[in-house]
Amino acid sequence: MNLLPDLSELIALRYPAATLSFNPQYSGMGRLYGQQRSRQRGRGLEFEEVRPYIAGDDVRHIDWRVTARRGRAHTRLYREEKNLQVWVVCNLDSSMFFGSGLQLKSTLAVRLAALLCWIAHREGHRTGLLIHSGNSSHLQQTHARQQGILPLLQLLVERQPVVVQPPSTTAFSQTLKRLVPLVSSGSLLLLLSDWLDDDPELASLLTQLHQWSHPHLLSISDPLERHGLPNGHYALGIPGAIQIWSGQRSRVRWPARWLGRQQQLQSLCTRLQLPLQQFSTTDNAATGLTRWLRPVALFK
């Protein structure tokens, strides 16, 4: 199993991230409101045209030379560049500190989150990171072209779980609520979790966020959750609450619970028309994202 990622590893992920894009021209994500030229008109930097004044136009934009020449008030219009706001929300709770092979679920989540932050930063988007960890949440924002993403990567390193902890009493949806006053219209929300908790508020909160933003659910799982343990007996649990499990019993209960939760999650996404992407701890993070975000190089 790979060691926990450190800051130098997350910084190095800028290179595989350079082949991926949120741009709908290149990406498999569909049409998003990314770093494109917008038909929205206002006080932008690029002049577009002059047209006759219409009641309600900003009087500061009246072109007085054209008005004097034509004898009728005219307004200058500008084309604005519209940048995407990207929020990466990462669940690093105790259930994510689990893995049977290449890496922990939390480790994969940290690497995926770092890659997504690099993509957003390279494309000039305003980027925010929100982490759910234990009974607390941690938020960090950067502004495109003004601040690097090192604070985001550092937060990922600092908040990743390093030891087994008791289950959290705070649901993931409580962390997501912090986004409600922060998300602007057209924002892209990338939500990374194993989605194993039975969270009664999740559906209503995702519905609320989906009214003005674009949530994408990224689900992370481990093969043992899907298939159970091999034959034998195993000591499992957290310190002070260790149980002896039989492999045969786990192959009945674990896959059934995992499949039931996945079916609920898929049904929720279908009902709310939300994209759902699956990732496994057997995946390389960059390779897993490539299946979702097509490499830019293929379209050049």
pLDDT tens-digit map of 162-185: 887 777 788 899 999 999 999 988
Q: What pLDDT shows up at residue 40? A: 38
Q: What percent of the chain has pLDDT over 90?
A: 46
AA identity, residue 171: A
Query: According to the model, what pLDDT value does residue 41 have?
Result: 37
Weakest-pLDDT range from 65-79, 189-203, 238-252: 238-252
Average pLDDT over residues 95-102: 87
pLDDT in tens, 264-297: 999 999 999 999 999 999 999 999 998 888 665 3
Q: Which percentage of the chain shows pLDDT scores above 70?
A: 84
The model's pLDDT over 135-157, given as tens digits with 9 standing for 90+, comes to: 889 999 886 554 689 999 999 99
Residue 77: pLDDT band with limits 50, 70, 90: confident
> What CATH number does the domain located at 7-32+83-223+276-299 have?
3.40.50.410
Report pLDDT for 218: 96
Question: CB under 8 Å, gap of 24 or more: what pairs does 64-69 form?
Answer: none
> Can you spell out the DSSP letters for the chain?
-PPPP-HHHHHHTHHHHTT----TTT-TT-S---SEEEEEEEEEEEEEEEEE--TTS-GGGB-HHHHHHHTS-EEEEEEEEEPPEEEEEEE-SGGGS--SSS--HHHHHHHHHHHHHHHHHHTT-EEEEEEEETTEEEEEEE-TTTS-SHHHHHHHHHHS--S--PPPSS-HHHHHGGGTTTPPTTEEEEEEE---S--TTHHHHHHHHHTTEEEEEEEEE-HHHHH-PPSSEEEEEETTEEEEEEHHHHHHHHHHHHHHHHHHHHHHHHHHT--EEEEETTS-HHHHHHHHS--GGGG-
User: Is 300 a residue whose pLDDT tops 50?
Assistant: no
What average pLDDT does the chain have?
83
pLDDT at 263: 93
**Is 164:137 a contact under the CB 8 Å cutoff?**
no
With a cut of 50, say whether residue 35 has pLDDT above it: no
174 versus 235: which is more confidently predicted?
174
The per-residue pLDDT for 226 is: 86
Instruction: For the chain, give every domain's residue range.
Output: 7-32+83-223+276-299, 40-82
Note the pLDDT of residue 79.
52
